[in-house]
């Protein structure tokens, strides 16, 4: 193909010439000299600043997103672990409440079974020589005793958040009378002291003591009133019902 240069003295620019950076700067400088409106320049500068700020915010958000993703996964893992822990805790609490309700029912039904064995055991241990009993029986407690005993129990149950099914039934303490004889007045006073020293008995009160004649012999007839109260756990000893013997 034949090309004719109609403008001699100037070479035809090659289409594959490299990018001329200096020419681009000169073009921008010429554009700045041509644009004389300051508002237009301010608007262009404002848009450049806005675009730069948006780019910075986007890049910063992307960086924070990549930083927070491991923390999010860790939080999700801890959430699943704590959910499992709370579910197991609620299940254990339901089992505990069920056991407490069953134990309370057993205590309410079986609470008075071993009262008199304890009373007889303590009285037998405290009984001195040359002293015997002729009568022993319970008496009606004072009317204020159940109310006084129920007040701390209800307050304790409310503070612990217990339900009505887990609060044990309040029973008045057993009050009983002892009527006996002795041939020694010192044995009578020793009997009183030993009853007072028992952890299962309290409010030991002598009701009467007088000299009577039985079989032509002067003896002291006495009457004592006491109250049975469950001792502290330090005084309670347990033993198995059955034991293998070799």
Percent of residues, the chain, with pLDDT higher than 70: 68
Q: Is residue 178 part of a domain?
A: yes
The residue-averaged pLDDT of 106-130 equals 84
Number of H helices and E strands in the chain, helices first, is 5, 4
Short-list 117, 112, 113, 125, CA closest to 196: 125
User: Which two tokens mark 6?
Assistant: 């109609």
Specify the 3-state DSSP secondary structure of 182: strand
Q: Is residue 58 part of a domain?
A: yes
102 and 124 in a single domain? The answer is no
Q: Is residue 5 part of a domain?
A: no
Element (H, E) at 201: strand 201-214
d(CA 207, CA 195): 14
Q: Is residue 242 part of a domain?
A: no
d(CA 238, CA 246): 22
235: pLDDT strictly greater than 90 = no
* pLDDT the model gives residue 65: 86
207 and 189 in a single domain? The answer is yes
42 and 84 in a single domain? The answer is yes
Short-list 186, 187, 223, 182, CA closest to 204: 223
Give residue-wise pLDDT tens across range 186-198.
999 999 999 999 8
74 and 132 in a single domain? The answer is no
Q: Is residue 23 part of a domain?
A: no
Q: Which domain holds residue 193?
A: 115-159+170-231
Q: Is residue 224 part of a domain?
A: yes
141 and 105 in a single domain? The answer is no
Q: Which of 83-92, 215-224, 230-239 has the lowest mean pLDDT?
A: 230-239
126 and 221 in a single domain? The answer is yes
20: pLDDT strictly greater than 60 = no
169: pLDDT strictly greater than 50 = yes
Q: Is residue 144 part of a domain?
A: yes
4: pLDDT strictly greater than 70 = no
120 and 221 in a single domain? The answer is yes
212 and 127 in a single domain? The answer is yes
Neighbouring-strand partners of residue 222: 180, 209
d(CA 9, CA 89): 96
- Domain stop point among 89, 110, 131: 110
The residue-averaged pLDDT of 196-215 equals 89
Look at the chain and report how many structural domains it folds into. Answer: 2
Q: Kindly state the DSSP code that residue 111 receives in the 8-state scheme.
A: T
Q: For the domain that residue 226 is a member of, what is the CATH number?
A: 3.30.70.2830
d(CA 179, CA 123): 12
Give residue-wise pLDDT tens across range 9-19.
655 555 555 55
60 and 86 in a single domain? The answer is yes
The residue-averaged pLDDT of 150-167 equals 45
Where in 56-200 does DSSP place strands (E)?
Answer: 131-139, 174-182
């Amino acid at each position: 193909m034949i090309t004719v240069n109609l403008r001699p003295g100037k070479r035809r620019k090659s289409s594959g010439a490299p990018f001329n950076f200096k020419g681009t700067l000169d073009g921008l400088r010429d554009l700045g000299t041509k644009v004389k409106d300051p508002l237009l320049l301010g608007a262009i500068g404002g848009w450049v600043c806005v675009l730069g700020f948006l780019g910075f915010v986007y890049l910063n958000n992307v960086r924070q997103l990549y930083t927070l993703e491991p923390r999010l996964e860790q939080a999700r893992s801890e959430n699943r672990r704590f959910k499992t822990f709370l579910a197991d805790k609620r299940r254990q609490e339901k089992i505990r409440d069920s056991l407490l309700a069953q134990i309370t029912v057993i205590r309410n039904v079986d609470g008075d079974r071993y009262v008199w064995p304890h009373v007889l055991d303590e009285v037998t241990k405290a009984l001195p020589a040359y002293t015997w009993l002729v009568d022993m029986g319970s008496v009606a407690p004072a009317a204020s005793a159940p109310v006084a005993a129920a007040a701390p129990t209800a307050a304790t149950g409310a503070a612990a958040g217990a339900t009505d099914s887990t609060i044990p039934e309040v029973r008045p303490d057993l009050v009983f009378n002892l009527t006996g004889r002795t041939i020694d007045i010192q044995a009578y006073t020793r009997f009183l002291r030993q009853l007072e020293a028992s952890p299962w008995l309290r409010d030991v009160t002598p009701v009467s003591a007088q000299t009577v004649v039985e079989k032509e012999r002067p003896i002291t007839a006495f009457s004592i009133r006491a109250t049975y109260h469950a001792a502290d756990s330090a005084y309670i000893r347990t033993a198995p019902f059955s034991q293998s013997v070799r």
